[in-house]
Amino acid sequence: MNKFAKKDRQRIIDDYLAQSGRNMFIPAEFIDWLADKPDHEAYELFYGMDDSEAARQHRIGLARKMASGLRIVVTQEQPAEAQVVHITTREYPAYVSPLANRTKGGGYVPFNAQDPQAAEDLRMQGAQALRSWLVRYRGVAELAGIDLEPMEDIVAQMSQGAARSA
């Protein structure tokens, strides 16, 4: 739908409503109306591919929606000895918002666990998130008798990660 700006989409819909005599936009009726108008500016958008390709593109869109917001799982094989292989499974977010990009308007990029800077940035974000959690929920956790010292140790270790990896 990026082909048409908002004002163009509005004009196309208004034109359809005027020509069809309808006072409500019903997508299925619009598609049927457009089917026999190959010269219409929106025709190619909806009929510019055969039905099998359109169905495939629709399914790809559904798959994108299904995967949106999910996490990726990466399995790394690390040889420890000549015949022994240790397999480690770790979860990472599929996309992250690097701290350095946030002052420039932000945005998300695919996470690469092999990039030391990306891993460091995510670790620092994790430390900050845990620190924020402690500030918000410390009172109620202590009220329930929960010892938060292990979590404070984790925050400290994650915050010092830059010093260790340098």
In a shared domain, residues 56 and 105 = no
In a shared domain, residues 61 and 110 = no
Is 85 part of any domain?
A: no
Tell me the percentage of the chain whose pLDDT exceeds 70.
83
- Burial of 122 per CB tally in 10 Å (0-12, 13-18, 19+): buried
Give the closest residue to 137 by CA, choosing from 126, 128, 146: 146
Residue 80, CB-side half-sphere exposure with 13 Å CA sphere? 6
Q: How many residues does this entry show for the chain?
A: 166
In a shared domain, residues 101 and 51 = no
pLDDT tens string 127-144:
999 999 999 999 999 999
In a shared domain, residues 59 and 11 = yes
Which range of residues forms the domain containing residue 34? 6-67
Is 130 part of any domain?
A: yes
In a shared domain, residues 63 and 104 = no
Is 43 part of any domain?
A: yes
In this predicted structure, the answer to whether residue 82 has a pLDDT above a threshold of 80 is no
| 144 secondary structure, DSSP code | T
Residues 6+ apart with CB under 8 A from 42: 4, 12, 34
Give the closest residue to 108 by CA, choosing from 124, 120, 121, 90: 121
Residue the block writes with tokens 């219409």: 40
How many structural domains does the chain have? Answer: 2
pLDDT tens string 3-30:
788 899 999 999 999 999 988 888 999 9
Query: What pLDDT does 166 receive?
Result: 42
State the pTM of this model: 0.46
pLDDT bracket for residue 165 (50, 70, 90):
very low
Mean pLDDT (whole number) for 69-98: 73
Residue where one domain finishes, among candidates 49, 67, 85: 67
Q: How far apart are CA 101 and CA 104, in angstroms?
A: 5
Is 84 part of any domain?
A: no
In a shared domain, residues 12 and 63 = yes
DSSP three-state, residue 13: helix
- Burial of 148 per CB tally in 10 Å (0-12, 13-18, 19+): middle
In a shared domain, residues 104 and 153 = yes
Is 138 part of any domain?
A: yes
Q: What is the mean pLDDT of the chain?
A: 84
Give the closest residue to 93 by CA, choosing from 76, 106, 108, 77: 108
pLDDT tens string 101-124:
777 767 778 888 888 988 898 899
Is 90 part of any domain?
A: no
Q: How far apart are CA 4 and CA 16, in angstroms?
A: 15
Is 24 part of any domain?
A: yes
Is 119 part of any domain?
A: yes
Query: What pLDDT does 100 receive?
Result: 79
Report phi then psi at 136, rounded to 5.
-75, -40
How many C-beta atoms surround the C-beta of residue 4 within 10 A? 14
